[in-house]
Chains A and B, each alone.
Chain A
Amino acid sequence: MGGKVGLKGTDGKEIIQKARELGATQASPARAVEALQRLLPLKVEFELITYPFDMGEEEAIHCGFEPKVVGRIQQGATSAADTRAAAKEMLSLHVDLILFVGGDGTARDVYESVGKSIPALGVPAGVKIHSGVFGVNPGKAGELAAKFLRGETKLQDAEVMDVDEEAFRIGRLSAKLYGYLRVPYEEELIQSAKGGSSTILDEKMSQQTIADYVVELMEEDWYYVLGPGTTVKAVADRLGATKTLLGVDVVHGGKTVASDVNEEQLLRLIEGRKVKIIVSPIGQQGFIFGRGNQQISPKIIRKVGVENIWVIATRNKLSSIQVGRPFLVDTGEEDVNKMLSGYRRIITGYKEEVVAKVAA
């Protein structure tokens, strides 16, 4: 037993400044302390590494740790660049877990620095959190980190979502899937599993049953356009075909014929062929089209036909999107959105479907 934990604090300089002006006290330190307290019982069994001052050192000492401090920052004026530097430093030190405090922006910074190479876990301190990489609350995040260090949890890929800057620039606020972090997982401790504290089916197992079924339904002479996400990837894995996690790939005859295509390439590929589209809802709000799979444009949807779209999702995913709320589509074209809306069958397991509402 033994391990190293890298602690991170974050948030852009201007935002902190603005928050202070509005009279808000910086919530992150308090959250960090709450999380760290759950790790105190293990104090002697692991090494806590952190960044200086209010990027982690102060909170750690406040709790009673004797952290190893690395890195250099300008006290009180830290930014996303520092976050990324810190994450990269932790990576080079081969820590066992990066524990970061913040919101979707921080998660994205960590992701862009380390990807899935080492486990990471977020202590929530943001306003709205769309990513699935955070603990339910700071205390639970600390608990989960402790369990991870004791070897009592498994790891799972979790979505990193953040503001879609391009859309934001043209005045639309929406979230985009940026990638996946490897996160310690336990049902009631991680935020993505919002459906309640009772036992939930293992996500990986669910995905495998979906994959088993979809592969059974696939036919030799059809082309399958596979959207992003871990559930769709499970289908490709089952086939033994390669699949990018974030991109749109095409398989045929059980093999990948195109990887990470854009709309143009996709249009050419599907010309004159029998095509089905397989997609999975993205993000906490369950977008089937419009977040992370914009390559599957309205044009393509029209060409393929709504009846040739298979939507796949695990039961956990269904629960995490609040029950009673529809799945969403936002292709950019109203009439395509309309075509996709209504009550649709969604594949949720082996010979198992759910009827869910889809809305624009």
Chain B
Amino acid sequence: MPVHPYIPNSDPEVKKEMLRALGVKDAEELFAVIPEKIRFRKNLNLPPSTPEYEVRRHVEQILAKNKNSNEMLTFVGGGCWPHYVPAVCDEINSRSEFLTAYTGDVYSDLGRFQALFEFQSMIGELVGMDAVTFPTYDWPTAAGDALRMAAILTGRHEILVPKTINPDRLSVMSNFSGSLARIKHVGYDRQTGQMSLEDLKSKISTNTAAVYIENPSYLGFIETDCKEIGEIAHDKGALFLVGVEPLSLGILAPPGEYGADIVCGEGQPLGVHMSYGGGSLGFLGCHDDERYLSATGHRLISITKTKREGEWGFTFVLPERSMYTGRDKSACITGTSTILWAITGAVYLSLLGPKGIKELAETIMKNSYYTIKRLSEINGVRVPLFNSPHFEEYTVNFDKTRRSVREVNKALMKFGIQGGKDISSEFPELGSTALYCTTELHTREDIDKLGSALDEVLR
């Protein structure tokens, strides 16, 4: 057996000493607890022990085959959006005290508790809620939890969602709420994209646990009737759930102010690198009400005092609400969450501040509208499909150009441009449509490049 740099006791002398203390000749004796007939006695078909230089070179060579979004112009969003990550965010989340900690108590790990509380506080301000839970994996899983909460709180088993919902997100939500709630679609207006209030009224009943909307919608437009939707839900005793992209809240009203009972969303735009979809963070806020908090599947912390005057501490809230909370059991809540990203989100929002997030949201919206204007000048392109205000994403239709989104995107690639998400199969009724995204990353020149590239491609 080799001595390995990550294994201090692989040093044979030390190991011998320890085995002697155990009264054992060979470590193999310790494995006698595993029945011999199921022991694996062969060699694994894996590379040999490798020095760091070679590991690094090998992995970097593989990663070099990737083209990152800085090397191209990336106009795609769809649940993960390209934003600028301030250097301070990386600085703080690479501190090993945060990076390599796990579940220490508040005495040794005060830092992560406080940073998390600060993150929760900032999210609370953005979404207009007094209670925010521990973060979860991403928006889809946070939404899944919101659905479960609604079912538990109302005792009802049907959830209404817009037909314009992100289908991947819906799949996750179904898997989470599975046995507790049936999900039904509510139609949308073909002109505006907005959820059809008529269809909603016809579908809502006393079986409805909640109505869930996304604002902005997956298809990029702002659901302007959100307040009315909430009222319709409440009239029938159902809850109103809203999913959000947090940067939009720099200029949009917080859902807590237009009637939401639970707000969930994606924290990736808050300083987390995209990492091929591996950087994500789901947040959830709700009424500061005992019934709501009892129904959530996530851990909860509160700020508190300590024995020493003027000192802050933190404590878990309703800790006995564990995995066995009665008939409607939440998914497991202990263990891993996405705290490192929550800490990052707190840093990001602190850097932005109130004016910063407003300016950022404005910039995003302006850039989007500039792109919309530019693309609408191209023959055959219809953008956006819906006559509603948009924020960061918008539908671009290519029907009249007689090209599929796939073809257009492949052609754009040659210009070093990543086109929008192909949603033709998700929404066949919308024809050859892509979901484009513009953020603060895109300069006017970038957008003009997209414009001229498309001009070329669609000639």
Task: Give A contacts to B, CB under 8 Å.
Answer: 187, 199-202, 205-206, 208-209, 212-213, 315, 349-352
Assess the A349–B324 pair: CB atoms within 8 A: yes
Assess the A199–B319 pair: CB atoms within 8 A: yes
B 318-357 binary contact with A (CB < 8 Å = 1; else 0): 0110101111000000000000000000000000000000
- Within the complex, the shortest CB–CB distance from B406 to chain A, in Å, comes to 47
Assess the A201–B327 pair: CB atoms within 8 A: no
Supply 8 A–B pairs (Cβ within 8 Å), ascending by A: A201-B325, A205-B326, A206-B324, A315-B324, A349-B324, A349-B326, A350-B326, A351-B327
Report B-chain residues with C-beta under 8 Å of the C-beta of A350: 326-327
Report B-chain residues with C-beta under 8 Å of the C-beta of A208: 326
Among B300-323, those with CB < 8 Å from A are 319-320, 322
Report B-chain residues with C-beta under 8 Å of the C-beta of A212: 326-327
- Within the complex, the shortest CB–CB distance from B434 to chain A, in Å, comes to 46
Q: What separation, in Å, do the CA atoms of A228 and B324 have in the docked complex?
A: 25
Assess the B320–A200 pair: CB atoms within 8 A: yes
Q: What separation, in Å, do the CA atoms of A349 and B323 have in the docked complex?
A: 12
Report A-chain residues with C-beta under 8 Å of the C-beta of B324: 201, 206, 315, 349, 352
Q: What separation, in Å, do the CA atoms of A199 and B317 have in the docked complex?
A: 12
Q: What separation, in Å, do the CA atoms of A187 and B327 have in the docked complex?
A: 22
Assess the A209–B326 pair: CB atoms within 8 A: yes
Report B-chain residues with C-beta under 8 Å of the C-beta of A209: 326-327
Report A-chain residues with C-beta under 8 Å of the C-beta of B320: 187, 199-202
Task: Give B contacts to A, CB under 8 Å.
Answer: 319-320, 322, 324-327
Assess the A199–B322 pair: CB atoms within 8 A: yes
Q: What separation, in Å, do the CA atoms of A205 and B324 have in the docked complex?
A: 10
- Within the complex, the shortest CB–CB distance from B291 to chain A, in Å, comes to 13
- Within the complex, the shortest CB–CB distance from B188 to chain A, in Å, comes to 38
Q: What separation, in Å, do the CA atoms of A293 and B33 have in the docked complex?
A: 44
Given contacts A212-B327, A349-B324, A349-B327, 18 further A-B contacts (CB under 8 A): A187-B320, A199-B319, A199-B320, A201-B320, A201-B322, A201-B324, A201-B325, A202-B320, A205-B325, A205-B326, A206-B324, A209-B326, A209-B327, A213-B327, A315-B324, A350-B326, A351-B327, A352-B324
Q: What separation, in Å, do the CA atoms of A199 and B327 have in the docked complex?
A: 19
Q: What separation, in Å, do the CA atoms of A202 and B320 have in the docked complex?
A: 8
- Within the complex, the shortest CB–CB distance from B403 to chain A, in Å, comes to 54
Report B-chain residues with C-beta under 8 Å of the C-beta of A201: 320, 322, 324-325
Report B-chain residues with C-beta under 8 Å of the C-beta of A206: 324
Report A-chain residues with C-beta under 8 Å of the C-beta of B322: 199, 201
Q: What separation, in Å, do the CA atoms of A81 and B425 have in the docked complex?
A: 85
Report B-chain residues with C-beta under 8 Å of the C-beta of A202: 320
- Within the complex, the shortest CB–CB distance from A319 to chain B, in Å, comes to 12
Report B-chain residues with C-beta under 8 Å of the C-beta of A205: 325-326
- Within the complex, the shortest CB–CB distance from B210 to chain A, in Å, comes to 22
Report A-chain residues with C-beta under 8 Å of the C-beta of B325: 201, 205
**A348 to chain B: closest residue by CB:** B324
Which 7 residue pairs of A and B lie closest in terms of their CB atoms, listed nearest first? Answer: A350-B327, A199-B320, A209-B326, A199-B319, A201-B324, A209-B327, A212-B327
- Within the complex, the shortest CB–CB distance from B316 to chain A, in Å, comes to 9
- Within the complex, the shortest CB–CB distance from B30 to chain A, in Å, comes to 25
Report A-chain residues with C-beta under 8 Å of the C-beta of B326: 205, 208-209, 212, 349-350
- Within the complex, the shortest CB–CB distance from B323 to chain A, in Å, comes to 9
Report A-chain residues with C-beta under 8 Å of the C-beta of B327: 209, 212-213, 349-351
- Within the complex, the shortest CB–CB distance from A66 to chain B, in Å, comes to 30
User: Considering residues A187, A208, A209, which has the most beta carbons from chain B within 10 angstroms of its beta carbon?
Assistant: A209
Report B-chain residues with C-beta under 8 Å of the C-beta of A187: 320
- Within the complex, the shortest CB–CB distance from A313 to chain B, in Å, comes to 14
- Within the complex, the shortest CB–CB distance from B334 to chain A, in Å, comes to 11
Q: What separation, in Å, do the CA atoms of A349 and B324 have in the docked complex?
A: 8
**B323 to chain A: closest residue by CB:** A201
- Within the complex, the shortest CB–CB distance from A244 to chain B, in Å, comes to 26
User: Considering residues B320, B322, B326, which has the most beta carbons from chain A within 10 angstroms of its beta carbon?
Assistant: B326
Q: What separation, in Å, do the CA atoms of A249 and B325 have in the docked complex?
A: 29
Q: What separation, in Å, do the CA atoms of A205 and B319 have in the docked complex?
A: 14
Report B-chain residues with C-beta under 8 Å of the C-beta of A315: 324
- Within the complex, the shortest CB–CB distance from A317 to chain B, in Å, comes to 14
Q: What separation, in Å, do the CA atoms of A161 and B84 have in the docked complex?
A: 68
Q: What separation, in Å, do the CA atoms of A332 and B320 have in the docked complex?
A: 40
**A352 to chain B: closest residue by CB:** B324
Report B-chain residues with C-beta under 8 Å of the C-beta of A349: 324, 326-327
Report B-chain residues with C-beta under 8 Å of the C-beta of A352: 324
- Within the complex, the shortest CB–CB distance from A190 to chain B, in Å, comes to 15
Q: What separation, in Å, do the CA atoms of A266 and B268 have in the docked complex?
A: 66
**A202 to chain B: closest residue by CB:** B320
Q: What separation, in Å, do the CA atoms of A352 and B328 have in the docked complex?
A: 11
Q: What separation, in Å, do the CA atoms of A351 and B322 have in the docked complex?
A: 16
Q: What separation, in Å, do the CA atoms of A200 and B320 have in the docked complex?
A: 6
Q: What separation, in Å, do the CA atoms of A352 and B397 have in the docked complex?
A: 52
Q: What separation, in Å, do the CA atoms of A350 and B326 have in the docked complex?
A: 6
User: Considering residues A205, A208, A212, which has the most beta carbons from chain B within 10 angstroms of its beta carbon?
Assistant: A205
Q: What separation, in Å, do the CA atoms of A349 and B329 have in the docked complex?
A: 11
User: Considering residues A187, A206, A350, which has the most beta carbons from chain B within 10 angstroms of its beta carbon?
Assistant: A350
**B328 to chain A: closest residue by CB:** A350
- Within the complex, the shortest CB–CB distance from B445 to chain A, in Å, comes to 58
- Within the complex, the shortest CB–CB distance from A237 to chain B, in Å, comes to 15
Q: What separation, in Å, do the CA atoms of A201 and B325 have in the docked complex?
A: 8
Report B-chain residues with C-beta under 8 Å of the C-beta of A351: 327
Report A-chain residues with C-beta under 8 Å of the C-beta of B319: 199
Report B-chain residues with C-beta under 8 Å of the C-beta of A199: 319-320, 322
- Within the complex, the shortest CB–CB distance from B184 to chain A, in Å, comes to 25
**B316 to chain A: closest residue by CB:** A199
**B179 to chain A: closest residue by CB:** A351
Q: What separation, in Å, do the CA atoms of A70 and B326 have in the docked complex?
A: 47
- Within the complex, the shortest CB–CB distance from B4 to chain A, in Å, comes to 36
Q: What separation, in Å, do the CA atoms of A209 and B152 have in the docked complex?
A: 14
- Within the complex, the shortest CB–CB distance from A186 to chain B, in Å, comes to 11
- Within the complex, the shortest CB–CB distance from A208 to chain B, in Å, comes to 7
Q: What separation, in Å, do the CA atoms of A280 and B126 have in the docked complex?
A: 51
**B327 to chain A: closest residue by CB:** A350
Q: What separation, in Å, do the CA atoms of A315 and B326 have in the docked complex?
A: 12
Q: What separation, in Å, do the CA atoms of A213 and B322 have in the docked complex?
A: 19
- Within the complex, the shortest CB–CB distance from B54 to chain A, in Å, comes to 46
User: Considering residues B322, B324, B325, which has the most beta carbons from chain A within 10 angstroms of its beta carbon?
Assistant: B324
- Within the complex, the shortest CB–CB distance from B10 to chain A, in Å, comes to 35
Q: What separation, in Å, do the CA atoms of A205 and B329 have in the docked complex?
A: 13
**A351 to chain B: closest residue by CB:** B327
Q: What separation, in Å, do the CA atoms of A212 and B326 have in the docked complex?
A: 9
Q: What separation, in Å, do the CA atoms of A200 and B326 have in the docked complex?
A: 13
Q: What separation, in Å, do the CA atoms of A328 and B456 have in the docked complex?
A: 84
Q: What separation, in Å, do the CA atoms of A201 and B322 have in the docked complex?
A: 7
Q: What separation, in Å, do the CA atoms of A206 and B326 have in the docked complex?
A: 7
Q: What separation, in Å, do the CA atoms of A349 and B325 have in the docked complex?
A: 9
Q: What separation, in Å, do the CA atoms of A187 and B322 have in the docked complex?
A: 15
Q: What separation, in Å, do the CA atoms of A209 and B319 have in the docked complex?
A: 19
**A187 to chain B: closest residue by CB:** B320
- Within the complex, the shortest CB–CB distance from B419 to chain A, in Å, comes to 49
Q: What separation, in Å, do the CA atoms of A201 and B324 have in the docked complex?
A: 7
